[in-house]
Copies of this chain bind each other. A is one copy, B any other.
Amino acid sequence: QKLKIGLIPADGIGQEVIPAARAAIEALGSEIPKPEFFDLEAGFEVFANSGEALPEDTVEALKECDCALFGAVSSPVKKVTGYSSPIVALRKRLDLYANVRPVISVAANPEDKPDVDLVVVRENTECLYVKQETMSAGEHGKEARATRLITERASHRIGKMAFEIALGRPRQQVTIIHKSNVLSVTDGLFRDTVRAIPRAVEGGRYDNVKLEEQIVDSAVYRLFREPEIYDVMVAPNLYGDIISDAAAALVGSLGLVPSVNAGDNFVMGEPVHGSAPDIAGRGIANPLASIRSAALMLRHLGYAAPADKLDRAVNEVIREGQILTPDLGGKSKTGEVLDAVLKRL
């Protein structure tokens, strides 16, 4: 039996870090089913060439895969007619309703507790990301409107994912992020739905999970001041987007933070960093977020031991502090960091 993995490097440094993640997976040898890789296209460059940011072939091929790794997409600096982010589309097309983003600092001593150790569980299919926008002419000029959709169904399933993740962590705490003091209907529904989950699930499965909540603005403030108060943060799409970048700032670099886009039947790893056009093509992109995303993807598929092995190797490289890319203050190249990880596997 093989493990079919779709690879979608897409734009910018995605082209440099996804091959590194592939090499790390290959180095696992017989600890996982033999991987078979499928090179797939998406992104702004493909759009510029073909008019399609997310070719139908890519979506069809992914449906035949067990999992995938996605790189990053470039956002056009000017508005481009017909272009729309392929990652947002992909999340919806494959119903990858949860964007799971663990943010963990690496303690100097492997025995020590990390200062930051939290998971952002971001709803991945709705909120303002439904992209229902209209433009009209008002009395005083143009008026644009966007719809923010929050459903009970999506809030319930993302909430359940958050509770499940909390069960596997020592703290067992879920913090709901919302702004129901202003958005009493939409964020009120999100909050109430997540709150109701422990009672709705049979057998008292979540009875020991501590449930907290925070208004989004003050959540970001406290994230910087006292990150230790958080364990699992569950948030509607846009708040989750902002919070996970904010949390990434706490651990030194976006180049370290992995994610998976997870649905009930498919999982796609994706580094949280973007396409970084300023450094693309120079061989200095940090491959660690992508390697960690591969680990997260494998863990999600049930391969915990090889995932741990990848994570341990990455943490050792960070801890030793000798072979790091410039985003972490080092001078090493993508390939050198990858080699350092491979050596420690």
Residues of A at the B interface (CB closer than 8 Å) are 75, 79, 84-85, 88, 128-129, 131, 133-135, 138, 140-153, 156, 179-186, 188-189, 192, 215-218, 220-221, 223-225, 238, 241-242, 244-246, 248-250, 254, 274
Residues of B within 8 A of A225 (CB): 249
Contact A140 B151 (CB under 8 A): yes
Known: A144-B185, A151-B143. A241 touches B217 (CB 8 A): yes
Contacts of A156 in B (CB 8 A): 141
A42–chain B nearest beta-carbon distance, Å: 15
CB contacts (< 8 Å) of A179 on chain B: these are 128, 238
Give the CA-CA distance A303 to B72 in the complex, in Å.
50
Give Cα A191–Cα B156 distance, bound, in whole angstroms: 34
10 contacts between A and B (CB under 8 A): A128-B179, A133-B185, A142-B189, A144-B185, A147-B148, A148-B148, A217-B244, A218-B274, A220-B245, A221-B248
Set of chain B residues within 8 Å of A180, measured between Cβ atoms: 75, 79
Q: How far is the CA of A215 from the CA of B274 in the complex (A)?
A: 11
B249, A224: Cβ atoms closer than 8 Å: yes
Q: B140, A144: Cβ atoms under 8 Å?
A: no
Closest B residue by C-beta to A88: B182
* B189 and A218 contact, CB distance less than 8 A: no
Seed contacts A75-B181, A143-B151; 17 additional CB < 8 Å A-B pairs: A79-B192, A128-B182, A133-B185, A135-B189, A140-B151, A141-B151, A145-B150, A146-B183, A146-B186, A147-B148, A216-B242, A217-B245, A220-B245, A221-B248, A221-B254, A224-B246, A242-B242
From residue A279, how far is it (CB to closest CB) to chain B in Å?
Answer: 14
A181, B85: Cβ atoms under 8 Å? yes
User: Given that A182-B85, A185-B133 are contacting pairs, would A146 and B144 also be in contact in the complex, using a CB cutoff of 8 Å?
Assistant: no
How close is A118's CB to chain B, nearest CB, in angstroms? 15
Complex alpha-carbon distance, A183 and B189, angstroms: 23
Knowing A217-B241, A225-B249, A249-B220, the reply to whether A144 touches B189 (Cβ < 8 A) is yes
CB distance from A263 to the nearest CB of B (A): 16
Distance of A274 Cα from B246 Cα, bound (Å): 21
With CB as the reference atom, state the residue of chain B lying closest to A257.
B221
A22 CB → nearest B CB, Å? 26
Contact across chains for A145 and B148 when beta carbons are under 8 A apart: yes
Chain B residue contacts of A79, Cβ below 8 A: 180, 184, 188, 192
